[in-house]
Structure 1
Amino acid sequence: MPDQLSRIMSLRDVASQINSDGDLDTLLRDLIQAACRHGSWDLGSIMTVDLAHGFALVTARYESNAMLRRPLGDRWELATSPALIALQRFEPVYIRDARESVEFPGYRLEANERGYCTVLIYPMASVDVEGRPMVLAVTSRKVVDVSPDDLAFMAIIVHLGAIAIERAHRHRAQLAAAEQLRRVLGAQGSLLQEVLAGGSIETLTAMLGDLFNAPVLVLDFFASSLLASASPVPGVHEDDAWRLMLEGPAGRQILGEVRDAVTTRRAETITLHLGDKLSLDARIASLMVDDEAVGALLTFDKSDANDLQKLLIESAKFALSVQLMRSVIRFRFETRTLTELFFEIVERRWRDEQDMLRRARRLGLSLAAPMRMLVTDFPDRTNASADLSVDGHRAVALLAAQLHVAVHIVTVGGALVCLVPQEEGMELDRVARLAQRVSETLFHSFGSEPIVVVGDTCEGLESIAKEWERCWRMIRVARTFGRRGAMTVPDFGPLPMLIGAADSADVRSFIDGAIGRVVEHDKKHKSAYLETLAAYVRSGCRSQHCADAMDLHVTTLRYRLSRISDLFGIQVETPEQRFAIELALQLHSLVESSIPSGKRPKSIPRMRG
């Protein structure tokens, strides 16, 4: 073995490797070469230990004499290798003469075949690029007695090598981070350029799939559309099959789950359940416009998101939000413009009828031609009314296209109005079929069946206003009697006419004059005089029959009727008096119960927000 001075000098050569900026493979070859040359060993190798598969793999080798009896192997079973023992104990393993080793029979066989004797294996405090632990092994062709100084010298070499390897890892990580940063900055520029150039959201989706190197899914809440760059489960669905599936019920389910997740501001990841056996985990990012969620970006990337990837996600969110903002503005402009025109008509706020007709024609709507009105009243979900309007708008437009029915869709808060031009030869059944399909589709989307009313044919501004009032009265009747689904005017009989009459000032004055004081007294004193009076009239003014129906003693009933007469001057002794009170009670019940308490809108609902 070398003397102490030469060993100290040789450490300088090993230490110089720490400042080398070469790649890791070159560093490992230089390190094992320095260990063998300065430690006077004939053969040496650096191995990574693959614990998962039970092998030690040679990554770098040095040999002082190339004249070997046969090529050396690069893979060892851990069961026959002392490398595992060195790692477990984290101390060197010394085999004085491998040719006589009983503990490692594999080494004894190879030592005899290849002509080496002493083996020294050191664990290294470092890992390879895949995170696997490493060991350094040196051998001699003759038997060598290794002293404590020899062990200390080799320990210093191994320690310096571990420092160099760690530095190489950091250098490699820095290069990778710089490259990723360059890629992210380039992606920001390309995404912004695509948006400013007016590119489509389909193109952006494809670009994001390439940038993330993973499948992405872009959801547009206003258009109720899903755009995929590629399939996240290629073994189950190919790209085209995945996109086709997103157009069906699975896509609507994903859209609902993602919208709920974005609305409730849940975790940054979401699990999508597609059937009984398929579930997908995705990273979710909401797309906002004016502090309103208008879409979402899903990335099917299982790796942990580092800072640069988060920066890329923010860049993608910005580009997609700008792109979706155009869709939102266009949607709002079209719907609000048509909605304002519609309300000017039904509220009779127009001054020049010809001007209204010209404005409608610019929007593609002919008000002078016959049309039929179809009004859809959404289920009561006040926390998501905007979402219902958007989803309903798209669903009705798709259904109309499928049934080849031309429609103009007007958003009116928690409802949609479809103006269907009455083309020559178009029958009511065609519009009724559209109404039925709308009811069925929205039931699956909202989880509750809407009210869909098909009105009569109308033509001109005043006719449209009257038909809207009649359709709205029909909706009020349907709410009163708990009816849902598609329905037409004959389904209701005279009820809409009675409600329309009850809304008039003369009829309300009649109700107030007949029973108004009773209503106010009951509200103020929590009494039940109106209930008693209604029950008495329903029973045909028979005291015993009424008392039995109300579960009262007949004396108590007569006392209440006496108080009603004294307080309010109401008599029902003659047929004329009885008819007037009964009519007032019926009209009052019809008006008050037509819309649930606390949720009674104006006669014409206005668009929210």
Structure 2
Amino acid sequence: MNPAASFRNISALARFIDESQDAEETYLLLTRGVCAHSQWDLSSIQVLDPEAGLAIPVVRHDPFNKSDLSNFPGWDARYSPVGRVLEEGEPLILEDAAAQDEFPGFREDAQRRSYHTTVMIPLEVRDAQRRQMVYSVASRQIIGVDETDLSFLQCVAELVTIAVRKMRKLEEQQKQAARMRAILENMTASLTKTLDTEAAGTLAAGLSSLFPAGWLAVDLTSGRGLFDPEVPPPVALASARRVPEDLISAAISARGLASGTVMDLTVAGSTIRAEVSPLQIDGSHVGALFFFRTEPLSDHERIAAQAGRLALSSFILRSFIEFKSRRVTARRLLSRLFSGDWRDREEMLDEAHRLDFDLQAPLRLVVLRLPGGSVDDGTHSFILRSAQSVFGASVSCLLDGDLMLLLDDRAGEAVRQQGLFLSRIRSLLPEGTALVMSEKVEVFEDLPKARETCANTLEVAQSMQASGWVTPVNVGEFPALMASAEMVKVEAYLGSVLPEVLNGTGRKAQVAAETIETFLKTGRRYQEAADALGIHVSTLRYRLEQLSDQHGLDFDDSDKCFELDLAIRLRRLRDSYEP
């Protein structure tokens, strides 16, 4: 073939190949076009299937033999030239394929179909199964193949490579466009369900079309989990409404993390790797989204995941807005109750009813003293919903750095449920958080007193570094008594029982206090008290007589001595936590 004719044929083939719409059609047009614009009679494309160990013809143009390739399994790759061509990456010329002995399988095919001179050229593209490909031409005669002929065939192979790559790029763009349309449609469908809090099941199915397999969302505002039951996450979940503490802790710890952060998640003693992204609404941390997979998300999967997070945040938004609205009402109501502003009693009762709360029921007040005096909205919402789940009707707000929970205790079960409530919220609470529950409050007018008692008890607990539920068990009976007592009455009691001399700061007051305390502590035994003070018993008797004469103290009256001992203990306790 002369060079001029080769160029004309290349141009014709380029237009011919450009008419193709996909890779398969390109291969078909290539095999036909080469035979139409050159001296070659037959043309084919073969793939090497390494798993099957076969060289398989996938496209063939043979006007003299119309055999169906779908029924032909291929040749043993060990006896086919395809493997060598792909291994060496260079064209192979067989002067007479029907007479050579190196590739017996190929020889038999050449003899059966009557072709001789053959040229095989490796293609740089692969088929849809990622198998390597070889392009071949054959003549029914023995012909010479010069540099021009070989260059022509290599140029055709390059044209095919360019065309196929272009088509695959176009196909990928079309797939991407289809994916984007699907993402938009799925996100739109999911968003239509986000305003219906009862549609969690259908929303989860919609989100599964946006998220990769194995996902789980934790909503801190409600304490619920959201996942597709058809494709459940690989963690132990009894139900979506009861999320394990480990997952709640992981969702809380996701605050401030970058989306897509990979972490080790431990649930029920098992550790699994997960990709976590925080969920936020108006700057508030309201939950986390977990993907359980080892490989990173592709660009399209990440775009779909972002769309899914938007739908998920919108679903949480309703309960979040409801919580914030009710919190404002609760703060206004509790502020009035604690301040004693009961001028419009009916208005307060109506406001409580709007919060689904009955102020005329027996009540209990729970106060949480939080280190730092603040709590984010997601955590606050979870604590309130946990209280409602454990105790029943509850309202809550943050006042003066303390988290207030007002409980309806008409069932009388609040004290018994303390442990369960703390177990539900413990993972959210900062270390050192103390809680206290008031005595039952029969009428809401007694709430200011209940709040004062709780505040005093928490002050005592804080000074003793107590955390968790604060009771007489962990702060002592006397501190609890002191905290629950009205300070005005306590001061009046101390003033009426303690002698004036004990209020001084001089040496005389110290000696008097030491003498009285030691005498009472030893059970009013003179010798034992004198030994404890390091003085003679006669000196002790003299001191006690002076105190009796000057301050009217009767050390022989058991009841008076008990009152005096109690007053001294109360004063010491008061002094221990006064700033």
The two structures share one fold, judged by TM-score above 0.5: yes
2:332 matches 1:340: yes
> Map of 1:81-480 to 2, 5 A cutoff?
81-99=80-98, 101-112=100-111, 115-195=114-194, 200-212=199-211, 214=213, 216-230=215-229, 232=231, 244=238, 246-248=240-242, 251-265=244-258, 267-270=260-263, 272-274=265-267, 279-282=272-275, 284-298=276-290, 309-369=301-361, 371-373=362-364, 375=366, 377=368, 380=371, 386-400=377-391, 406-412=392-398, 414-423=402-411, 426=412, 430-443=413-426, 451-480=434-463
Alpha-carbon offset, residue 265 of structure 1: 3.2
**Deviations 1:424-472 (Å, cap 9, x if unpaired)?**
xx5xxx3332112223333466596965544322222332221232233
Say whether the 8 Å CA contact 1:209–1:229 is kept in structure 2.
yes
Could you tell me how far apart the structure 2 residues matched to 1:211 and 1:588 are?
63
Contact 1:515 1:584 in 2 (8 A): no
Identify if the C-alpha distance between structure 1 residues 188 and 408 changes in structure 2 by more than 3 Å, giving closer, same or farther: closer
Q: How far is the alpha carbon of 1:486 from its aligned partner? A: 4.9
Call closer, same or farther: CA 1:514–1:414 in 2, change over 3 Å: farther
Q: Distance in 2 between matches of 1:398 and 1:150?
A: 84
Deviations 1:386-431 (A, max 9, x none): 554333223332234xxxxx332424455452423325xx5xxx33
User: Match for 2:150: what amino acid?
Assistant: L
How far does residue 25 in structure 1 lie from its aligned partner after superposition? 1.0
Give the letter aligned to residue 421 of structure 1. D
In the alignment, the residues of structure 2 paired with residue 287 and residue 168 of structure 1 have an alpha-carbon distance, to the nearest angstrom, of 40
Do 1:373 and 1:468's aligned partners in 2 also have CA atoms closer than 8 Å?
no
Change (3 A) 1:517 1:489: closer
Alignment match, 1:495:
479
Q: CA deviation at 1:270?
A: 4.9
Q: 1:75 and 1:334, CA in 2 relative to 1: closer, same or farther beyond 3 A?
A: farther
Indicate yes or no: 2:573 matched with 1:590: no
Which moved further from structure 2: 387-396 or 218-227? 387-396
8 Å Cα contact 1:455/1:489 also seen in 2: no
Provide the rounded CA distance (Å) in 2 between the counterparts of 1:125 and 1:308. Answer: 27
Residue 480 of structure 2 aligns with an amino acid whose one-letter code is P
Question: What's the counterpart of residue 561 of structure 1?
Answer: none
State the alpha-carbon separation in 1 of the partners of residues 124 and 68 from structure 2.
Answer: 33
316-325 vs 104-113, which deviates more? 104-113
C-alpha deviation, 1:29, in angstroms? 0.7
Q: Which structure 2 residues correspond to residues 4-43 of structure 1 after superposition, within 5 A?
A: 4-43=3-42
Does structure 1 conserve the Cα–Cα contact (< 8 Å) formed by 2:387 and 2:394?
no
- 1:534-564 per-residue CA deviation (whole Å, 9 max, x = no partner) reads 9x9599799xxxxxxxxxxxxxxxxxxxxxx
Q: Structure 1's 482 and 37: CA in aligned 2 closer, same or farther, altered over 3 A?
A: same
Contact map agreement 2:223 2:242 (CA 8 A) in 1: no
Query: What's the RMSD between the two structures over aligned residues?
Result: 4.5
Distance 1:94 1:193, change over 3 A: same
Q: Is the CA contact (8 Å cut-off) linking 2:379 and 2:428 kept in structure 1? A: no
Q: Which has the larger radius of gyration?
A: 2
Per the alignment, do residues 294 and 4 of structure 1 end up closer, same or farther by CA in structure 2, a change over 3 Å counting?
Answer: same
> Does the residue aligned with 2:445 lie in a helix, a strand or coil?
helix
Look up the SS of the partner of 2:578 in the other structure.
helix
SS in structure 2 opposite 1:457?
coil
TM-score (normalised: structure 2): 0.75
The residue type equivalent to 2:393 in the other structure is V
Written as runs of structure 1 = structure 2, the 5 A alignment for 1:454-603 is 454-484=437-467, 486=469, 492-499=476-483, 504=488, 507=491, 586-592=573-579
Partner SS for 1:91 = coil
Tell me, yes or no, if the aligned pair for 2:439 and 2:450 is still in contact at 8 Å: yes
Q: Which amino acid aligns with 2:257?
A: T
Structure 2 counterpart of 1:324, one-letter code: I
Q: Distance in 2 between matches of 1:11 and 1:308?
A: 39
**Structure 1 residues 80 and 222: alpha-carbon distance in aligned structure 2, compared to 1, 3 A threshold:** farther
CA apart distance, 1:328: 0.8
Q: Secondary structure at the match of 1:126?
A: strand
Contact 2:20 2:29 in 1 (8 A): no
Structure 2: gaps (5+ residues): 520-545, 554-563
Change (3 A) 1:275 1:487: closer
Cα distance, 1:258 vs structure 2: 3.2
Return the letter of the residue paired with 1:44.
S
- Note the C-alpha offset of 1:79: 4.0
Closer, same or farther in 2 for the Cα pair 1:300/1:47, shift >3 Å?
farther
Label 1:276 to 1:181 Cα distance change in 2 as closer, same or farther (>3 A). same
Q: Alignment partner of 1:458: what SS?
A: coil
Q: TM-score, normalised by structure 1?
A: 0.71
Moved more, 579-588 or 123-132: 579-588
Distance of aligned partners of 1:422 and 1:170 in 2 relative to their CA distance in 1, 3 Å threshold: closer
User: What is the deviation of 1:342?
Assistant: 1.9
- Give the Cα–Cα distance (whole angstroms) in 1 for the partners of residues 69 and 441 of structure 2: 99
The aligned residue for residue 563 of structure 1 is none
State the Cα distance separating 1:92 from its structure 2 match.
Answer: 0.7
Structure-1 separation of matches of 2:363 and 2:198: 39
Distance 2:295 2:22 in 1: 25
8 Å Cα contact 1:228/1:243 also seen in 2: no
SS in 1 for 2:90: coil
Contact 1:50–1:56 (CA<8 Å) still a contact in 2? yes
How big is each residue's C-alpha offset from its partner over 1:509-536, in whole Å with a ceiling of 9 and x where there is no partner? Answer: 999x999999xxxxxxxxxx99xx89x9
Question: Across the two proteins, how many residue pairs are aligned to each other?
Answer: 529
Q: Distance in 2 between matches of 1:420 and 1:356?
A: 16
Deviation at 1:303, TM superposition (A): 7.4
Partners of 2:173 and 2:70 in 1: how far apart? 37
Aligned counterparts of 1:99 and 1:516: Cα–Cα separation in 2: 125
Gap runs ≥5 in structure 1: 401-405, 519-528, 543-572, 593-609
Identity percentage of aligned residues:
22
Q: Contact between 1:184 and 1:308, CA under 8 Å: does it hold in 2?
A: no
Distance 1:537 1:52, change over 3 A: farther
Measure, in 2, the Cα distance between the counterparts of 1:453 and 1:69.
85
Aligned to 1:551: none
Q: In structure 2, how many angstroms separate the alpha carbons of the residues matched to 1:586 and 1:167?
A: 86
Shift of residue 16, structure 1, vs aligned partner: 0.7
Q: Distance in 2 between matches of 1:366 and 1:71?
A: 79
